[in-house]
Amino acid sequence: MEAENLTELSDFLLLELSGAPQLQPILFGLFLSMYLVTVLGNLLIILAVSSDSHLHTPMYFFLSNLSFVDICFISTTVPKMLVNIQAQSKHISYVKCLTQVYFLMMFAGMDNFLLVVMAYDRFVAICHPLHYTVIMNPCLCGLLVLASWLIIFWVSLVHLLLMKRLAFSTGTEIPHFFCELAQVLKVARSNTLLNNIVLYVATALLGVFPVAGILISYFQIVSSLMRMSSTEGKYKAFSTCGSHLCVVSLFYGTGLGVYLSSAVTHSSQSSSMASVMYTMVTPMLNPFIYSLRNKDVKGALGRLLSRAASCP
């Protein structure tokens, strides 16, 4: 059958996480709770950083940006999934699907870049403490975040424009609970060679270089700590990296889990459950990791909540 070009009225069908009707209310309540916890937790981090002058430093500037991106990241997929569960529908329009692909790539890429920038910030703080305020000045911090946004904006736009040239059959089922680029390319009815080449090149460049940057930064940090004579100084310096290391491990660990589950198994359900960890659990846990392991953040959150409670 000849493939039909999609119009705004065409739609795709998304995979359900579970076909059992009795599980739908449970899934709805679970994912709604996770979404609200994620938004509230990351919003509190942003408010704490912006309202407390003690946290007006590069490290917390990047942390507040990470929290903002995490809110946007989870908001790209979960609200649509909740609407579909509530309406007992699997439909998503062509325009909404492409929009979801675009913003999912952009916010996932921003998470990636921000983790690299935060690793560089810790490298400068520990390896060059006397020059930290000069190197990590507000201008450089702003430029690093702006450059990250610009790079991922154009990379995502290229993928989106390449997708618009593809043809699909109306009512095509996407084996996922959201529109993910690789899964959408699999169900296209036209040649996707160019799309896949660009996808692999972008994944290699935006995956290898950030990971290499984080590894190099922490190699330099460990080397610097080994030269310290004070055990207390080593502990204090490395403790500032603990939260970042936890978030890095969670982000890349769940991302690798999604990739391996897609490559090793052909089960759509297994791949979808791995994606839940990546798109929902990671953004939800990030504010807990930074608040529970960081006295400054806990103190700022306490003062913020105290002020909120004292307001009439």
- pLDDT by residue for the chain (312 residues), tens digit each? 344 444 444 678 787 666 666 777 888 898 899 999 999 999 989 988 888 888 888 988 999 999 999 999 999 989 988 888 887 777 888 888 899 999 999 999 999 999 999 999 999 988 888 899 999 999 999 999 999 999 999 999 999 999 988 888 777 788 777 888 888 888 888 888 899 899 889 888 888 888 899 999 989 888 888 887 767 767 777 777 878 888 888 888 877 766 666 655 555 555 666 677 778 888 888 888 887 667 777 777 777 777 777 765
What's the confidence (pLDDT) of residue 238? Answer: 72
* pLDDT tens figures, 172-195: 788 777 888 888 888 888 888 899
- Could you give the CA distance from residue 162 to residue 84 in angstroms, rounded to a whole number? 28
Q: Cα dihedral sign for 203, 207, 208, 209?
A: positive
Our CA angle for 137, 286, 257, nearest 5°, is: 115
Contact between 124 and 132 under an 8 Å Cβ cutoff? The reply is: yes
- Could you give the CA distance from residue 306 to residue 98 in angstroms, rounded to a whole number? 43
Q: What phi and psi values does residue 168 have, to the nearest 5 degrees?
A: -135, 160
Look up the pTM and report it: 0.88
What's the confidence (pLDDT) of residue 262? Answer: 60
Contact between 125 and 59 under an 8 Å Cβ cutoff? The reply is: yes
- Could you give the CA distance from residue 138 to residue 128 in angstroms, rounded to a whole number? 17
What's the confidence (pLDDT) of residue 261? Answer: 61
Q: What phi and psi values does residue 173 have, to the nearest 5 degrees?
A: -90, 125
Side-chain half-sphere exposure of 29, counting CA atoms within 13 A: 5
What are the sequence ranges of the domains in the chain? 11-310
Q: Residue 11 is inside which H or E element, if any? A: strand 11-14
Token pair belonging to 58:
């590069």
Angle between helices 231-264 and 193-226 (to 10 degrees): 160
Q: Cα dihedral sign for 277, 76, 214, 198?
A: positive
What's the confidence (pLDDT) of residue 61? Answer: 94
User: What residue spans of the chain are helical by DSSP H?
Assistant: 24-51, 58-75, 78-87, 94-127, 132-135, 138-163, 181-186, 193-226, 231-264, 268-276, 282-292, 295-310
State the virtual CA torsion across 269, 181, 206, 214 in degrees, nearest 10. Answer: -30
- Could you give the CA distance from residue 93 to residue 288 in angstroms, rounded to a whole number? 35
Q: Hey, what amino acid is at 124?
A: V
Cα Rg, the chain, nearest whole Å: 21
- Pick 11-310's CATH classification: 3.40.640.10, 1.20.1070.10, 1.10.3720.10, 2.60.120.620: 1.20.1070.10
- Could you give the CA distance from residue 268 to residue 219 in angstroms, rounded to a whole number? 38
Token pair belonging to 16:
């359900």
